[in-house]
Every structure is written in C-alpha cells, then in structure tokens.
C-alpha cells in the first residue's frame, strides 16, 4: 500500500486522464491527456490554467505577539505589510541557510497566514511551533483541511469572478481578500508561480471538487506539474531543493531583496551578515544556450573550460530555447566563456537577465 497522500481532487485528476506521479509525498498529475506542452501554451497564450497545489502547506499565526514573532522567524520586514497584503519571505536556520521560502499574508495585526512548501511542511511547522514557545502566539497547521488552487493566465480573472462575491479587480498584485467562494469562506490572492496574471485560491476541502468543476465549466484548462515547472523556470523563480536549500544563504541565491538586515534581529541574521561580508561561496546565474540542447538539473557548467558549478533548473523553453539556472564560482558569475555539458559535449551558453520570457503579471 502506498504511503503517498491524495488531495481532495485526486479522483478528478484521474477522471481527466491525469498521469499520476509521486511528488512531495503526494500523488499528483504530472500532465493530462493532451500533454504538458499544450497545458503550458494554454497559460502563456491567453487562456486560464487551473493547478491543484493542495500539497502546499498552510499555517495560521495568531496572537498579540504575532508580528514580533514573524519578524524574528522570517527574513523580510513584516512590519511593512498592511492588512490584505502578501509578502515573499524565507525561514532561515542559525547558519543563515534556507529552511524554506514562504509567503506571508497579513490578515490584521494579530493574525497572519503563511503558505509553505509541501516537502518542508512538517519541518517548517515544527520549527515555527518550537520558536513560538517564546512568544504570546499560536501557530496552527491548517494544511489538512485546506485545498489550494492556482488559476493562472489572461482569462483567470474573468473565469474566477463567476464563482465569488470578491471584487477581483480590486485585488492588486500580492494582495488578497477574504469572501464567499461557491458558498464557502475562502481567501483569494493575486499571486502565482507562472509569470502570468492570476490567483491562488484557499478553500475548505469540502468545496474543492465543486470549485474545480465550476472552473472547468468556465473553460479553465487543467495543468500538471510538468507545465507548472516549465512556467516557473522561464520566470527564474526559486524552487526549494534546487536554487535554495539548507546549503545556501540569501547572499548566494540572489534573495537579499527579501532579507532585511536593518529590521532588527532575526534567525540567521548574523550568519547572513558574515557571509555578505566575506563574499558568496557561489553565485546563481541565468544561462541561455547558444546552440541546440536541453540543459537538465545537475549538468556541469564550465567557464573558460574549467568546471565551475552545475545547473539547478533547466529545460527547453518553447519561447526561449535551452535555458537554465545554475550556481557557479563567484569569479565566473559575470565573466568568461560559459558552456553546459550535455551528453558529454560542452554546449556554449550566454549569461542572460531574468525572466527568460516576458512576465505578464498584473501589477
């Protein structure tokens, strides 16, 4: 018997012809019967794609010291948030490396909502609850009762508006609102992992199938893990276990923009300051192949013929060709001839700014 978990939408994925794989402890669709490329195209070229991302974790933080607590356990400056705003942030350990990257939702001064990565859920919750013992705050794991959907693409707003009394036009980028979604209370945020306009939808498990089916009836296209990763990689968004992990700090990962060293003390601050002072051990860069090829995770990266690092995420982008994120030696981050070893051949590449394709998020 499999120890893998199923989301409330598992049967719906099977009925749609989803190819089920193991991912982050769950059985999830990697693609549906029309294939990942068509799913990717639906999101990039004007439709609306629906993703089951219920495997992500949801944590509620409540109490009179909620702000003080989150300021200490996260890297970003939570005091800058207003009610209804979302913030990208991270949890670090004392060594200044990543426990996880997260999003923080401010409901009010004494109530916040966190979205955490699936594979890190239990580790994150244990860490947060351990630290919460020193604050007047309660940390509650609501993951098992919550379904999380992402609706991404140019038609996302029009499709979702038919299901909710929330005025979606008034929900700005990295903002959220609470309201009625098919008769149940839920949260809708204008956030996502694709570089397209869209929303993430938090609802009780009891209404998950109804909301999923209603979105399909509005011609939303079901999207699997493969297309989601294609969309994510094209934007250069970090993924835990790839660009970020417990072996890198925000200095290496180009995430000092979410690490506010001037906000006061927080877990990992001293280690990050030390790493910033001494210099990064390696640097994250974006690469585009000059010749044909598909770079994959762990492929070796060479600069001036010297092995310098490896690919953390790579793919063939339908819009940009062979693209990759990679860590290299700091001295090679900006200078030298770059190549990626693909099947024993060093394929030339060039450094490039991110994103690899244009972002269409509505800011």
Within 10 angstroms of residue 278's Cβ, the number of other Cβ atoms is 9
150 shares a domain with 22: yes
47 shares a domain with 148: yes
Q: What is the pLDDT of residue 1?
A: 39
DSSP H/E element including 51:
strand 49-52
Last residue within a domain, chosen from 235, 258, 274: 235
167 shares a domain with 37: yes
Measure CA 300 to chain center: 25
Domain range for 23 = 5-53+144-235
Q: Is residue 132 within 8 Å of 74, Cβ to Cβ?
A: no
322 shares a domain with 200: no
Q: Is residue 311 within 8 Å of 322, Cβ to Cβ?
A: no
Q: What is the pLDDT of residue 56?
A: 97
In a domain, 193, yes or no: yes
Specify the CATH number for the domain of residue 293.
Answer: 2.40.30.110
What the block records as the tokens of 306 is 């010297």
150 shares a domain with 45: yes
What the block records as the tokens of 117 is 């990565």
> Alpha-carbon torsion 315, 317, 320, 321, what sign?
positive
220 shares a domain with 340: no
In a domain, 99, yes or no: no
154 shares a domain with 49: yes
Query: Which residues neighbour 93 within 8 Å (Cβ) at sequence distance 6 or greater?
Result: 99, 246, 267, 268
225 shares a domain with 151: yes
* Mean pLDDT per 10-residue segment, the chain (363 residues): 87 98 96 97 97 98 98 98 98 98 98 95 97 98 98 98 98 98 97 98 98 98 98 98 97 98 98 97 97 97 98 97 98 98 97 97 90
In a domain, 277, yes or no: no
221 shares a domain with 335: no
Specify the CATH number for the domain of residue 30.
Answer: 3.30.1360.120
List helix spans (H) across 77-176.
121-132, 156-161
Q: What is the pLDDT of residue 203?
A: 98
What pTM value is reported for the model? 0.96
């Amino acid at each position: 018997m499999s120890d893998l978990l199923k989301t409330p939408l598992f049967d719906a994925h099977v009925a749609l012809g989803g190819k089920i794989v193991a991912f982050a402890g769950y059985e999830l669709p990697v693609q549906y019967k029309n294939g990942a490329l068509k799913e990717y195209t639906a999101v990039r070229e004007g439709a609306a794609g629906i993703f089951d991302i219920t495997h992500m974790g949801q944590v509620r933080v409540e109490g009179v010291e909620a702000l003080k607590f989150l300021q200490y356990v996260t890297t970003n400056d939570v005091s800058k948030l207003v009610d209804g705003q979302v913030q990208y942030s991270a949890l670090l350990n004392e060594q200044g490396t990543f426990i996880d990257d997260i999003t923080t939702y401010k409901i009010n001064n004494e109530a916040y909502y966190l979205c955490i990565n699936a594979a890190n859920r239990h580790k994150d919750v244990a860490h947060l609850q351990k630290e919460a013992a020193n604050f007047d705050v309660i940390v509650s794991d609501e993951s098992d009762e919550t379904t999380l959907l992402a609706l991404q693409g140019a038609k996302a707003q029009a499709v979702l508006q038919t299901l909710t009394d929330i005025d979606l036009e008034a929900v700005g980028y990295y903002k959220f609102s609470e309201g009625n979604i098919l008769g149940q209370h839920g949260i809708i945020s204008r956030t996502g992992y694709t570089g397209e306009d869209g929303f993430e939808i938090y609802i009780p498990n009891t209404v998950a199938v109804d909301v999923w089916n209603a979105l399909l009836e509005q011609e939303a296209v079901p999207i699997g893990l493969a297309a989601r990763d294609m969309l994510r990689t094209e934007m250069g968004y970090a993924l835990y276990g790839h660009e970020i992990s417990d072996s890198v700090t925000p200095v290496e990962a180009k995430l000092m923009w979410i690490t506010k060293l001037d906000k006061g003390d927080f877990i990992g601050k001293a280690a990050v300051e030390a790493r910033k002072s001494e210099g990064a051990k390696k640097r994250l860069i974006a690469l585009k192949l000059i010749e044909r090829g598909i770079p994959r995770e762990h492929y070796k990266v060479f600069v001036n013929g010297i092995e310098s690092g490896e690919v953390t995420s790579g793919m063939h982008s339908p819009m940009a060709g062979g693209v990759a994120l990679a860590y290299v030696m700091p001295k090679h981050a900006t200078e030298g001839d770059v190549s990626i070893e693909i099947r024993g051949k060093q394929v030339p590449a060039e450094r490039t700014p991110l994103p690899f394709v244009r972002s269409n998020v509505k800011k």
